[in-house]
Chain A
Amino acid sequence: MRLRDLLVRAGITVAVAATLVFALLASRYRFDFEPTWRYRELYGKGLLVTLGATALAFAVGMALGIGVALLRVSRRLPVRHLGDLYVEVIRGTPFLVQVTIAYFGIAPLLRLNDKFLVGTFALGAFAAAYMGEIFRAGIESIDRGQVEAARSLGLSRAQSLRHVVFPQAFKRMIPPLTGELIALTKESSLLFAIGLVEMTAAARQVGADTYKYLEASLVVAAMYLTLTVPLSLLARKLERRLKRSERTGVHL
């Protein structure tokens, strides 16, 4: 069963790839990857920036996201509104605009001019709105009786969250959080708006320098897939395991 799954999957991937290659060849375009190869160092630097920005933004998003979620499940109405406001503002504006405001508006106030730091924190603050929703949904999916049982035993509110709610909620949050990590990998490309040279910006520069836009983009597409496909396979595996342990999920 597992082996057949794997074979089917590999077969479909190969078939689709072959079709694409055939289509490109049929277009009589003469591929030339040599100039792209000359810029491998720039790609390498871009890769490092993408990886660094994604990882740091994810960490910032986690920390801020937990804060946003706790605001939004608070018993106090003004506190809840504060959390709602944050999510509305972040989700209601494009990240490209946010990062520009952060770099040209907020960073000078804080006397920051490190593009990487400013861009990454902006990306993390952006991710926090979405991750906060993931955390909130996770926390709210836990039965009220769980907290009641914990409190009735004399656990404090914080202890109940930490030892009863979070461990159960976190398991359910792993698949959507992996999805968010994948999204961040791609969204980090928007940091070009403040002049940060990550993978996409590197590819654009290669294209502009060599006029080999297509090759430069194909290379960077392959690089993104190398990062995102394993993550998404991992997410699917974790989700399957979760479904098995919670006995949910149907195939339609």
Chain B
Amino acid sequence: MTIPPAPPLIALRKVTRRFGTVTALEEVDLDVAKGEVVVLIGPSGSGKSTLLRCVNALERPDAGEVLLGGERVDAARKDIDRLRAETGMVFQHFNLFPHLTAIGNVALAPRLVRGQGDARARALLERVGLSDKADVYPDMLSGGQKQRVAIARALAMEPIAMLFDEPTSALDPEMVGEVLAVMRDLARDGMTMLVASHEMGFAREVAHRVVFMDGGRIVETGAPGDVFERPRHDRTRAFLSKVLRA
């Protein structure tokens, strides 16, 4: 798949983030174009989550900057809430609001922030195949259903990009497929997506680009076929041989 050149929707410029003595991200540069699907892979602790969280201002870089649609993402800016709503974040452990029903979860932000009604939220639940679960509380949903509600919730503010942090790692194997199907559907619709995932099949099929990270740095990046078939770095090869064997 090829994509036309366009200014990046998400841009990381020499982003560094440290936690004490640990450097979670070190001078990371990354551009994600509009409509592009980028999958981040890499061993545990390589900085994938930290990278995603910097785009959403859940983490603050120690150096460098993150640009979203040309605007600087900075937790200190006055309109950070509006800017945050421009990206939808999907978490490994769903983080659904347990005191609200499925529809309540999806409709909360549009209602509070924009004074919108439930109609769009209902349409989103239908889109993820859960219109019959609208009035059900999260603890009555399966893992796969929870994550689909979480995706609908992240879409509710009409984000220009979606961030996924290992959205299927906490799921039983038989539920992975239904979540990936929703993500595939989003990608097909042209949604810009930045995904941390170990689902190599998904990456191969859906990603325009795969980014391999290790030790807080981007080691290599390229089309999934290239990275998977002809990795240029030993570290990539070592990592792939581990995950692909599994």
| A contacts, CB < 8 Å to B | 143, 145-146, 148-156, 159, 163-164, 167-168, 171
Contacts and interface: CB of A to CB of B under 8 A. Distances in A.
B124 interface: no
Nearest to A151: B84
A151 B91 CA distance: 13
Given A149-B89, A149-B96, 14 more contacts: A148-B58, A148-B89, A148-B91, A148-B95, A149-B153, A150-B97, A150-B109, A152-B154, A153-B84, A153-B113, A153-B154, A154-B82, A155-B108, A159-B112
Interface residues of B, number: 24
A153 B157 contact: yes
Contacts of B56: 152
A153 B99 contact: no
B98 interface: yes
B113 A149 contact: no
Interface string B75-102: 0000001101101110101011111000
Given A164-B97, A168-B98, A154 B89 contact: no
Contacts of B81: 151, 154-156
A43 B109 CA distance: 54
B214 to A, nearest CB: 25
A163 B108 contact: yes
Contacts of B89: 148-149, 152
A171 B97 CA distance: 14
Contacts of A149: 89, 91, 95-97, 153
Contacts of B98: 168
- Please give me the 6 A-B residue pairs with the lowest Cβ-Cβ distance, nearest first: A154-B85, A153-B109, A149-B95, A145-B95, A152-B89, A167-B99
Contacts of A151: 58, 81, 84
A3 B93 CA distance: 42
A152 B99 contact: no
A78 to B, nearest CB: 19
14 contacts: A143-B95, A146-B97, A148-B58, A148-B91, A151-B58, A152-B89, A152-B154, A153-B157, A154-B82, A154-B109, A154-B113, A155-B81, A163-B112, A168-B97
B12 interface: no
Contacts of B88: 152-153
A142 B93 CA distance: 14
Contacts of B58: 148, 151-152
B156 interface: yes
Contacts of A148: 58, 89, 91, 95
Contacts of B82: 154
